[in-house]
Structure 1
Amino acid sequence: MQSSKAILYMIFSVIAFSLMNTVVKYLNDFSAYQIVFFRSIGTLFFTLPLLLKYKIPILGNHKKWLLLRGLAGVISLTCFFQSLNYLALGTAVSLRYTSPIFAAVLASVFLKEKIKPIQWLLFLIAFAGVLIIKGFGVNVNSIGLFFVLLSAVFLGLIFVLIRKIGNSEHPLVIINYFMVMAFVFGGIMSINYWKNPNIIEWLLLLSLGVFGYFGQLYLTKAFQSYETNIIAPLKYLEVVFMILIGAFWFGEAYNLWTLLGVFLIMFGLIYNVYLKRSKK
């Protein structure tokens, strides 16, 4: 079933992005621009050779939509990394994943995708779970809040643009546009903020692009395969994975509020998918 394949793609994407966020958390001494730069290098290492190997036209068929998707990606990624200078990682990650709500709104306006009132309720339940887990509302810096919400809006726009592009473009072409633009922007902007990495930091910085490549590849495949308002909310799972990684890697502890938040997120997501499948 097409929906099952799309959901599986998104789960793979979420795991990869969770690992990438973990590395970013560890490398918080580096500027957002330098992280964006290295994030792009590691991915371009995959995309450019593959495009050449399979003789895929690098410029694609719909340059306007591809450029818009790339621009939205650079803005979203940079704003998210910038927000980490003002917000706790948990709060920033939680707030950024309001993006499926923005995606659903934009998709209903521009793609005419229908959303039931109960689905809006489920989105809110899932979002409430995110807020409970990460403790939104305590010492939230207004500048950081601005950056992370702007990141979420543009991430939602990315979901819609990928759906708009559909299967008319190869996923590698879409990713490559984003990464080339991130490489140029991140490289130029990081000149005045450059910090020389040690060997371990070099490896970790380059790994950002590897995790990012697989995350982006499966994200693109997911949105090309099925409706935005079904696939986008699955991004909430990244918060759950971050909790697991945090517990086993950084020694973060669970509590009853965390368990309640996980339950609300899973309930909202699973029931939303059930509702859409029951219509088929």
Structure 2
Amino acid sequence: MLEIKNLTATTSAQEGKRSAASILKGVNLNLKAGEIQIVMGSNGSGKSTLAKLLAGHPAYNILHGSIRFRNEKLVRCLPETRARLGLFLGFQYPMEVGGVSNQDFLRLAYHSRYKKKDDILNTSLRFANRILNYVKILDMDSSFLPRPLNQGFSGGEKKKNEILQMAITGCELAVLDEIDSGLDVDALKTLSKTILIYQLDSLFNSRFLQTTKSLILITHYQRLLEYIKPDKIQVMKEGKIVCSGKSNLGNIVDRKGYDWLSGTGLGSCLIENINKKKLQTLKESVF
């Protein structure tokens, strides 16, 4: 479904500068239909940059590499084209938009994907049914729907609204940037449950009873793994994916931290050799 090859990127402000520093430095990632992958890493490792690049954020430029989503090249696609292809980005800090009600925003987003395939009446009925179902699953108050988009919402309510948008648009790939940050235990359980229900919903709509919805969850912490078991964990450091493994890799990182994978500073050659042995041991324990 998603294939990223040797992706190198910088910010638009640095474009054309000889000394422009790359934020992403050769990222490679493959995601199959129906897979859940978690991308972990410390602050500044490039996780959010990768998410925004996938969505087509204008603040970043691709210097080298390719991104293919559902056999389409994304590099030159506009953000709205990517969204219509089925790519959704859940923001780490959702924006507040005054003058636009939450319900109108969701309706327009839904119709933009489906109105060309079906008549407006059937689409509107499905939208109403879908939004009521997911508002209930998310344990949201329906009074949030006529209110301005995210305006006056708490941090947890904004995160729930992001998941509601994901479910309403019926995206094929959802990239959720630190959807677990700032949530209490109950809110995290509710969001995790909704994410899994959304993914499993595609199972019953598939001719071959296979899940087709894919997820990339970006996080710092291991606690998300208590509720969602991924097919693979990718660990980013300094703009690269430096380690991949099964779900128990998150437990190892939680115990040892991200500096365990570092090879810089005094005696870097010695540390690099030690890390090679550590990574070999890690791969043996993971696989």
TM-score normalised according to structure 1 size: 0.26
> Which has a greater percent of strand?
2
Q: Which has the larger radius of gyration?
A: 2
Give the helix-richer structure, 1 or 2.
1
Q: RCO higher in 1 or 2 (8 Å CA, sep ≥ 6)?
A: 1
**TM-score, length basis structure 2:** 0.26
